[in-house]
Amino acid sequence: MIVGVMGPEGSYSEKAAKLWMQKYSMSGSELRYFADIEDAFLATVQGKSDISIIPIENSIEGSVGVTLDLLLENEAKIVGEIVVRIEHCLLSKGGPEKVRVILSHPQGLAQCRHFLKKHFPDAELRSTGSTSHAARLAGEFEEMAAIASPEAAECYGLKVLLSNIQDKKENYTRFIVLKAGKKTLTEPETGSEKCSSSACKTSLIVYLEKDRPGALYEILGTFAKRKINLTKIESRPSKKELGDYYFYIDFEGHDSDALVKDALKDIKAKTDTLKILGSYPAFKTFRSVNIDKGY
């Protein structure tokens, strides 16, 4: 199996993929690296990978907008999720006194915003496609530093100048596991999609083309009256006009459950768009794995 991740080597996406592969004993699988989130996502859609593991949400900075947009725009289904602890380090060939430019993925820079303002207020901040890409570039000049993982320091021969520089100590990123194809209520479960109802999560996208008082309340009430627990709800601009949104909803349960089926049928009648992204094992089924070490 080919597993697509955002590269190059040393990225947090790679760490998430290795955790996933360990969980499912996928020792014979091959990691394939892509330049950014979009390329890694589309690798599955275009048949360049069997699955792709993509960041979707961070505990400090919130959802990854490009991932949400790609889920809407493409035929791909979520078959799993993994959470990785993020330990940002400042990496460089030289010492901290030489640092003039600091590189990282936009999420990495944002998660260390206060640290950078306090300790490197005059440094030029540059965005890269991934934290590991930043680490590779930082190896070219002593005046450059990267915000990346300790593993990236090992990969590219850099010194760890400072550890745990994120603004909040508890920093976690949730990754989703994607397969190509459209999720339907009638398709049989295969492989990693299998899970008991109580240990499952379902994700969907809802669009209300005609805004009216109480429209969102009616959708939420559909879940409430069936005692289906929502784990996340978020709006995302439709890009059609200001104030027009898609809603991304995660909830506990599998779309084969009778109550969930009934709820989805009700929601479909109330909305203009209902896209089911997948039912998959919730991360709590991975609690035996030591996420503090990232594997």
Catalytic residue chosen out of the listed positions 44, 173, 202, 271: 173
In one letter, which amino acid is 177? V
3-state class percentages of the chain: helix first, strand second, coil last, to nearest 5: 30, 30, 35
Catalytic residue chosen out of the listed positions 34, 41, 120, 175: 175
Q: Among the residues of the chain, which ranges form H helices?
A: 12-23, 37-45, 65-73, 106-111, 113-119, 131-138, 150-156, 215-224, 258-270
Contact 149, 89 (CB under 8 A): yes
Residue with tokens 């600091």: 102
173 catalytic residue (yes or no): yes
Contact 92, 139 (CB under 8 A): no
β-bridge partners, 177: 53, 80
Residue with tokens 């209300």: 208
CA-CA distances (angstroms) from residue 181 to 12, 42, 184, 246, 275?
Answer: 26, 12, 9, 21, 12
Round to whole Å and give the CA distance between 273 and 268: 7
Q: What is the 3-state secondary structure (H, E, C) of 37-62?
A: HHHHHHHHHCCCCCEEEEEEEECCCE
Residue with tokens 């440094």: 123
Contact 44, 6 (CB under 8 A): no
Residues 6+ apart with CB under 8 A from 83: 172, 173, 174, 175, 283, 286, 291
Q: What residues are labeled active site?
A: 173, 175
